[in-house]
Structure 1
Amino acid sequence: MHRSLTVAIALTLACAPLCVAVANPQKGTQVSEVTTQLPRDVRPTHYEISVTPHAGKLTFDGRVEVTIDVLQATDRIVLNAVGLRFSEAHVHSTRNKRAYPDPEVGVDESAQTATFSFPQALEAGSYRLIMEYTGIIGTQANGLFAIDYVTKAGKKRALYTQFENSDARKFIPSWDEPDHKATFDLTATIPDAQMAVSNMPVKHREDLGEGMSRVTFATSPKMSTYLLFFALGDFDRATATADGVEFGVITQQGLVSQAQFALDSSQAVLREYNDYFGVPYPLPKLDNIASPGSSQFFGAMENWGAIFTFERGLLIDPAFSTDADKQRIFGTAAHEIAHQWFGDLVTMQWWDDLWLNEGFASWMAGRTTQKLHPEWKSQLGAVGSREYAMSADAIASTHPVVQKIETVEQASQAFDAITYSKGAAVINMLENYVGADVWRDGVRRYIKAHAYANSRSDDLWREIEAAAGKPITAIAHDFTLQPGVPLISLEEAVCDNGQTTIKLSQGEFTKDRPDKTPLRWRVPVIARTLGGEPARALIEGGGGTMHLQGCGAVLLNAGQSGYYRTRYAPGDFAALRDGFASLAPIDQLGIMGNTAELGMTGQQSAADILDLIKATPLDADAKVWDRVAESLQRLDLLYRGDVARQQKFRSFAIGTLRPALKKYGWQAKDAESEPEAILRANLISSLADLGDSEVIAEARRRYAARETEPQAMPRALYKTILNIVASHADVAAWNQLHAAAKMEKGAMMKDRLYLMLASAKDKALAQRALDMALTDEPGATNSAAMIRSVAEEHPDLAFDFAMAHRENVEPLIDTTSSSRYYPRLAGNSLDPAMVGKLKDYADKYVAASSRRATQTAIDNIEYRIHIRAQRLPAIDAWLKKQEG
């Protein structure tokens, strides 16, 4: 699943009456039990599903025949079901067709289970459990849901499914846990004029008369319930064939021309993965389904053979899509297609090991993007992803990569920066440690050993070790079974006869626990002197010594493959600062990240990051300047509400970024790279956010001239200019954008315009956007995103509004997002009172076992309040010194 870094809260969750651990038959040093929320005396092997959606009424009729193995005699069958009403249930033996008395059906909505009780026990053997039922079509992206959207032909409604992590139970009564794999036959009764899509190709279509047809799909491979997919609507499909696989991109009618890049990208990625994994993609087709709307939980989902992606992550609109959009589309495709092996063919046994799906797919997407599109320099972007993970991993509410999951809500909360970004960063470090070819060989062994089955993290480590011929599991355990970020400090550097000997110590980097007893890791460290060749060592037991070629400034984590922070004494840092312009871009990014984070924790001067920014040459890599702009904006946010001090800081920040914008200008230049084109837009956005009156005025001028001056709003800056106009809007401009949103007939731009209305810096206009979010106007899946957009600029206003109108807001949120949604609204707050508000919210609405998201928001708010008081004076002093 691809997160866009966006769950009704279940106060009694699926684990409530039944949450047990069963023995894991696969031995290893990792925890040898797997959590389950269902009895283990019955195992499904095949589902035959028939569904008839009633889109207009938002209901559906279902019938399923499940072939089951009863492993030991039992008088009841317990499976998962939510929001389903059963009309019939029957059981018969598959061996002799003997029918048994119909069971009594008991539904426990709080436990998300249905229990079928029999008057006498079923003996061990094979049976068919037949159920007829009705269900609900939702308006948020969970279970079977509807998306309403506008077109030039009028309003349309399409249906889609989203089952990860635990929502297949809203579509079919099932054993809705990842290690209950089975095969699936799906049949749907649909309107003649519409297209139905599932994991497998259509096997048969039968005309039923009266405008209806029955569509039967081919039998799926053995897979987990959360990977099943169904969609229905007025669709078009673009197709291509490569490596024996039929590729498709399915869109709303009239938009297939926008799908070509995604179609081409999918073919290139699949060819690369067929080679890398050593196991060819096993399904006959691979569709990617584009949906209007949005989710607060995800942006794309890896259903086997039928990837679901919201339109903004899949389609290229020639009017406004940018190079950054194109790169995101490729990255999303690379991530989701990696899941077809890591997640679909081989699935984690339980949500504890979700990172095996998401961390690996994130790493694989970055690796593949770098290989197929080196001009995009995705390896530099990976540094930012690692920084994001280390920031989250350094607060008290962090968790290990392999985490203990016991409830549905905890599983939903597991889709976070630790799972995705830390998982990817750790894989990158371990691949670098054993070598790329060895790592690939181990991955191939792992895929072949566990195809169509389930696995745990230790199964991967075992195969990597076998391929490498050296131990790796201990290192992997250090970084995946315990939380936190190692801190490697340069204690001493002595040069003698052209060789530098360095002494390193190991601690732990934490943002909010300065007195914490540090954990210990076995850390693969790469270091070099500036101008020297890299040296490698495994630092363990609290420290170690390395010998480096040459003399001069020492750089730790050279090449930035390690998941750890680095600390230098003031003199050593000064040497790196003085040589900053000569460093490779990837090391410039790493040093900037470390300097900013250590400065905020008081382990070096908070102003050191400004020294590095000042040392950044104008011709530095575009992604380095992206980091400069981002760093300045982050510091600016800490001054929010303190106008006089903020204006002094902004004067420096604007003065720093203006020369870069002057270099790149507002118009594209011949032969410029895509990262440079993206930087142009980012510089313009950053300067506007920093209050640069010249940039804001130019954006407004171009917007006003858009109909008379063809080049006023070039495609690459179309959204950037609109964003600036919206965020700095007065009443007249806001009303004009509102009118444009209501008139817009393209779903993707219409969704974006409503989000832009919610970005207004003017508090009264932000309130108007909040009020609008509770109406039907923006669209059911856009309203929650509008409130989130308001929260970026006005966190306290948005949180207070959402809590005051919680009964109206709750139906607008994906059920998988609810317990995280409200804390994220508060995330940018600098008001100490918000801590109490969040605690009150959690006490009233969130189960005690599911409060990590709330605690994370509290930790970050308290940390920012602390650094605002303790670190900004050093920034102020640095700025004053520049004036002198």
Structure 2
Amino acid sequence: MHRSLLSTAVALALAALPALPVHAAAPAARTAQAETTTQLPRGVVPSHYEVSLTPDAAAGRFGARTVITLALARGMDSITLNAADLAFSRAEIVPAGGGAALPATVSVNAEAQTATFRFARPLAPGGYRLALDYSGIIGTQAVGLFSLDYPGAGGKQQRALYTQFENSDARRMIPSWDEPGYKATFKLDVTVPAGQMAVSNMPAANTATLADGRKRVSFAQSPKMSTYLLFLGVGDFERATASVDGTELGVITRRGALDQARFALDSSAAVLKEYNDYFGVRYPLPKLDNIAGPGQSQFFGAMENWGAIFTFEYALLLDPAISTQHDRQEVFATAAHEMAHQWFGDLVTMRWWDDLWLNEGFASWMESRMTARLHPEWNTRLGALNGRDAAMRRDSVAATHPVVQHIETVEQASQAFDEITYQKGEAVIRMLEAYVGEDAWRSGVRAYMKAHAYGNTVSDDLWRQIEKAANKPVTAIAHDFTLQPGVPLIRVGAPVCAGGKTTVALTQEEFSRDRPGKKPLAWRVPVIAQIGGNGKPASTLVAGGKGSLALPGCGAVVVNAGQSGYYRTLYAPKEFAALAGQFATLAPIDQIGLLSDSTALGMAGMQPASDVLDLARRAPLGADPQVWQRIASVLDGLHDRYAADAARQQRFDAFARARLAPVMAQVGWTARSGEASAVANLREQLIVVLGELGDANVVQEARRRYAAMQQDPAAVPGALRKVVTSVVAQHADAATWDALRASARVEKTPLVRDNLYVQLALGADRALAERALQLALTDEPGLTNSAAMISAVARRHPDLAFDFALAHQEQINRRVDASSRSRYFARLAGGSSDPAMVGKLNAYAGANLAAGARGDVEAAIAAIQDRVKVNAARLPEIDAWLARHPD
């Protein structure tokens, strides 16, 4: 997820917006200051955990002893904490000051994921140590303590152990108050095979060799932190380090892959220096590792455990055999995101999952900021609209939710990790930073960090510090965009030019794809506009539904110039035509913005659906590569909409190929010395999209190169091997599919092997898709790749994938991490164009999901209903446009 920063001119224009009167906090904000949500009885506060763990990786189980230092606020005869899949053999409590141990009887509530310890007599208020002996399960999916298997040296199967506790799975390894508001310190020791490395949040303080040849590794005590941030990894690892500002920075990989983590280590060193300066609080732990694990999860790609980030290999390692420029940028962005969490999330943590966006929105924004700052040659600021569009797609239907949303259950917390929390959160932060100014924003963030270090917060704690630093009432705007759902729409009036100035009226409405008659919500919307591609930006605040702007000069007006605002822009036909006529002269980011708005508004019936094709026709061959990436994405999306009608699809594809083939010819299959990174990314996307469009030249060339690669791997550059294979896999016949599978079976590198198995699920041929689904249920691809293969089938065959998954639900549930199950099935179906799928999803939800855990099902249903409606209403407009433009 690569997003962009505002240009300096745009940032200054937004910062110059008029100040607002201070508004009282909205009701939702006031309630955020109420008593912290908890699913556990109040009155018990843990302060320290001592955990001794002995995993048996081969048996898939562990034994453990945990001693918890806690305080009772009142007298009680029982203590309830979180525990899941744990079997207790002994429990006792001792007064902190010493005294006789009092044993406890244990009762477990599996559904509530709690264990209750009852005592023969009431406990007086005060301090105690609760000692628990128990055993648990080492899973095969990324939940709790889990194992990942991979082929090691000589083809011998290796097994490594890792933990994944966010959002609510520390309870699977440690009986605990497993909620973010219960911060405590941790002291962990683990008994492991002598030849393996153990890693946790803190450095090892002591390592002792045991009589049986194993070793016990004791880690230094952690700072005060939430349970979901604890980490343990054990395996045949290698580690490389660097020193940055007194912090030992490390990368840890399976043996033999350390060189592939060099870019991640170098990048992390540069990022850590920047973050130490930006946050005004130096990274407080003595070390920061990034640990690579093979395989994948349907829930996450990397996790910000304090001092011990876990990242799946595909997002951390760069293998010259298959890695691309896009992969390189993703590795950097992922590291920057997770390292930002070391402050936003780890040092200062949201009080409860309602404010998850304080973690994820800010980490996404810092990721983008740091990428633009340290790698300006990548020009990733143009990619900001990709994330904003993803958020707006979700946010423009009734099944959306506010950025700050009330969370009651573990399932609801899991479903909160979505486009609204991440991408909308990031977009709103970018807009607000520009409004108050970069320096004031940083000062507010620094004050927030210092005021709340090692503590928990709600969103208004941040707004309070920003307002104080900026002397601007940012809270009012922030509440509009975070406490209510939806996407503002700014309708642009006809510009009036007089005396060398242009005045334009603006009206605020709401962009809704499935509720055309709804009364629009009200937002205070910061708006920037300029004349054409190089006019001087001017800004205003549209409040109360109306506003206006006076711009120097005359000409076509670009609203949301620089694309910093979180809103859609709707022009009248005449004004849109004027901008379309000047499309080639607009700034690339505004070209992408115009493409973005015209696509969304056209599909919603608010302007001609064919307007985006007019823009695509006007794009010059020399347009910015990222503009062509957006055009390719738009054309690919329209191609998919025609999937049910081969004849109409072929007509559309002919137009799309005619637009993209000359760009591919210009870019070429071979990288040129010194070419921009965006060109490499464009080449990759054009090959994939033209392959989707059935371009005979691209398909033939991909097959030729794939055949050459089988004889000599060096015949195809590593950066093209994945895309070449994907085109071959899409157009595969049975013999080709068998050959691809044979390659996957003998591949020894986990990163390459995982990719090959997912490629097997990309076939357009339905029979081969069915074979991929059957293969996914075997152990051959690896247990963490099964779900990814089924998701890949759903890319082209959503109904087939959903029906298959539902028919094998018990097996699928074992192959999907528990955090993802309530959303996984819905996301398989979300790409369907069959109205019957709505009934299937409702039936699935009714049989499997609690009423509060249906957010992803509702989003999938909204997407299906929107697709059915749009395909029927808008594709005829595209057909008519194609008939008028046979060239």
**Which of residues 691, 694, 699 is equivalent to 2:694?**
691
Question: In the aligned structure 2, how far is the partner of 1:569 from the partner of 1:32?
Answer: 46
Kindly provide the CA deviation profile for residues 609-665 of structure 1, in whole angstroms up to 9, marking residues without a partner as x. Answer: 000111111111111110010000001111002011000000000000000000011
| Structure 1 match to 2:141 | 140
- Correspondences of 1:766-805 after superposition (within 5 Å): 766-805=769-808
Counterpart AA for 1:141: A
Q: Identify which range, 48-57 or 315-324, moves more after superposition.
A: 315-324
In the alignment, is residue 719 of structure 1 matched against residue 712 of structure 2?
A: no
| Cα distance in 1 for residues equivalent to 2:364 and 2:490 | 26
1:36 alignment partner, SS class: coil
Task: Quote how far apart the aligned CAs of 1:74 are.
Answer: 1.2
| Fraction of identical pairs, as percent | 59
CA contact (8 A) 1:2 1:301 kept: no
In structure 2, the residue corresponding to 1:473 is in which secondary structure? helix
Counterpart in 2 of 1:108? 109
Within the candidate set 425, 446, 452, 1:423 is matched to 425
Q: TM-score, normalised by structure 1?
A: 0.96
1:27/1:183 Cα in 2 relative to 1: closer, same or farther (>3 Å)?
farther
2:169, 2:100 → 1: CA distance?
A: 31
Question: 1:747 & 1:279 partners in 2: Cα distance?
Answer: 38
Instruction: Please say if residues 41 and 74 of structure 1, whose CA atoms lie closer than 8 Å, have aligned partners that are also in contact.
Output: no
- Tell me how far 1:807 sits from its aligned partner: 1.5
In structure 2, what is the equivalent of residue 676 of structure 1?
679
- Deviation for aligned residue 1:319: 1.4
Q: Quick one: which of 630, 639, 644 aligns to 2:642?
A: 639
Partner of 2:167: 165
Give yes or no for contact 1:346–1:451 (8 Å, CA) kept in 2. Answer: yes
SS of alignment partner, residue 520 of structure 1: coil
* Separation in 2, partners of 1:46, 1:54: 26
Aligned to 1:827: 830
Alignment correspondent of 1:503: 505
Tell me the CA shift for residue 810 of structure 1: 1.1
* Aligned residue identity for 1:782: N
What's 1:121 paired with?
A: 122
Question: Residues 807 and 28 from structure 1, CA distance in 2 versus in 1: closer, same or farther, beyond 3 angstroms?
Answer: closer
Question: For 1:631-670, what aligned pairs fall within 5 Å after superposition?
Answer: 631-670=634-673
Among 742, 750, 755, the alignment partner of 1:752 is: 755
Q: Secondary structure at the match of 2:323?
A: coil
Query: Which whole-Å deviations, capped at 9, do the CAs of 1:109-168 have from their partners, x for residues lacking one?
Result: 000001111222211111000000000000000000010111233100000000000000
Using the size of structure 2 for normalisation, the TM-score is 0.96
1:346 to 345, 348, 359: 348
Matches of 1:255 and 1:103, distance apart in 2 = 48
Q: Does structure 1 residue 149 correspond to structure 2 residue 150?
A: yes
State how far apart, in whole Å, the 2-side matches of 1:854 and 1:29 are. 28
Confirm or deny: 8 A CA contact 1:770 1:801 kept in the other structure. Answer: yes
User: Which residue matches 1:729?
Assistant: 732
Q: Unpaired runs of 5+ in structure 1?
A: 4-25
Count of aligned positions = 861
Q: Secondary structure at the match of 2:149?
A: strand
**Structure 1 equivalent of residue 11 of structure 2:** none
- Cα distance, 1:33 vs. partner? 3.9
CA–CA separation in structure 2 for the residues paired with 1:268 and 1:850:
41
Q: Secondary structure at the match of 1:56?
A: coil
Matches within 5 A, 1:586-597: 586-597=589-600
In 2, Cα distance between equivalents of 1:253 and 1:236? 5
User: CA 1:51–1:31 in 2, change beyond 3 Å: closer, same or farther?
Assistant: same
Structure 1 equivalent of residue 366 of structure 2:
364
Shift in Å at residue 98 of structure 1?
Answer: 1.5
* 1:550 CA drift (Å): 0.8
Q: Deviations over 1:156-206 (max 9, x none)?
A: 000000000000000000000001000000000111000000000000000
- The answer for the alignment partner of 2:562 in structure 1 is 559
For residue 72 of structure 1, report the CA deviation from its aligned partner.
1.2
- 3-state SS, counterpart of residue 684 of structure 1: helix
Pick aligned residue for 1:53 from 27, 52, 55: 55
Which residue identity is paired with 1:837?
A: K
Please say which of residues 408-417 and 700-709 is displaced more in the overlay.
700-709
Indicate conservation of the 8 Å contact 1:402/1:480, yes or no: yes
Equivalent residue for 2:284, pick from 251, 268, 282? 282
**Structure 1 residues 709 and 306 mapped into 2: Cα distance closer, same or farther (>3 Å)?**
closer
For the 8 Å contact 1:2–1:298, the answer to whether it is kept is no
CA distance in 2, matches of 1:89, 1:50: 15
- 2:393 is equivalent to residue 388 of structure 1: no
The aligned amino acid for 1:474 is A
2:306 is matched with 304
CA contact (8 A) 2:2 2:384 kept: no
Amino acid at match of 1:521: W
**Residue of structure 2 equivalent to 1:336:** 338
CA distance in 2, matches of 1:520, 1:132: 56
Instruction: For residues 837-877 of structure 1, give each alpha carbon's deviation from its aligned partner in whole angstroms, at most 9, with x where no partner exists.
Output: 11110011111111110011000001000000000011000
Q: 1:533 aligned to 2:536?
A: yes
8 Å CA contact retained: 1:200, 1:219: yes
Separation in structure 2 between the aligned mates of residue 505 and residue 191 of structure 1, nearest angstrom? 68
Judge conservation of contact 1:741–1:750 (CA < 8 Å) in 2: yes
Residue in 2 aligned with 1:7? none
Alignment-derived partner of residue 8 in structure 1? none
1:444-499 deviation digits (Å, cap 9, x = unpaired): 00000000000000000000000001101010000000000000111232111011
1:89 aligns to what? Answer: 91
- Equivalent residue, structure 2, for 1:17: none
Partner of 2:436: 434
Distance 2:110 2:552 in 1: 66
Q: Tell me if the contact between 2:349 and 2:359 (Cα under 8 Å) persists in the aligned partners.
A: yes
In structure 2, the partner of 1:70 is 72
Q: Deviations over 1:502-553 (max 9, x none)?
A: 1110000011110111000000111111242111111110111211111111
| Structure 2 match to 1:237 | 239
Give 1:808-823 correspondences, 5 Å limit. 808-823=811-826
Q: Please tell me the residue identity of whatever aligns with 1:326.
A: R
2:224 to 222, 225, 228: 222
TM-fit CA distance, 1:251: 0.5
Q: Structure 1 residues 31 and 860 mapped into 2: Cα distance closer, same or farther (>3 Å)?
A: farther
Which deviates more from structure 2 when the two are superposed, residues 700-709 or residues 835-844? Answer: 700-709
Q: Separation in 2 of the partners of 1:86 and 1:708?
A: 57
Name the counterpart of 1:860.
863
**SS of equivalent residue, structure 1 residue 514:** coil
Q: Distance in 2 between matches of 1:716 and 1:748?
A: 14
**Alignment match, 2:404:** 402
Look up the SS of the partner of 1:269 in the other structure. helix
* Aligned residue number for residue 19 of structure 1: none
Q: Find 1:617's aligned residue among 611, 620, 623.
A: 620
Partner of 1:131: 132
Distance 1:721 1:27, change over 3 A: closer
Contact 1:338 1:365 in 2 (8 A): yes
Question: Which ranges of structure 2 fall in alignment gaps of 5 or more residues?
Answer: 4-27
Task: State the distance in 2 between where 1:89 and 1:454 align.
Answer: 30
The equivalent residue for 2:588 is 585
Q: SS in structure 2 opposite 1:357?
A: helix
**Using the alignment, how far apart are the partners of 1:377 and 1:387 within structure 2?**
18
Contact 1:529 1:555 in 2 (8 A): yes
SS at match of 1:433: helix
Deviates more, 1:492-501 or 1:708-717: 708-717
In structure 2, distance between residues paired with 1:167 and 1:708: 47
Cα-to-partner distance string for 1:79-111 (whole Å, 9 max, x where unaligned): 00000000011111112x112431111110000
Contact 1:629–1:683 (Cα < 8 Å) also in 2:
yes
Specify which of 746, 768, 779 is matched with residue 743 of structure 1. Answer: 746
Contact 1:29 1:458 in 2 (8 A): no
Q: Is the CA contact (8 Å cut-off) linking 1:2 and 1:336 kept in structure 2?
A: no
CA shift at 1:207, angstroms?
A: 0.5
Distance 1:388 1:418 in 2: 9
Runs of 4+ in 1 over 6 A off after TM superposition: none
Structure 1 position 678, deviation (Å): 1.1
Residue 241 of structure 1: how far off its partner (Å): 1.1
Q: What is the CA RMSD across the aligned residues, in angstroms?
A: 1.4
Does 2:883 correspond to 1:880? Answer: yes
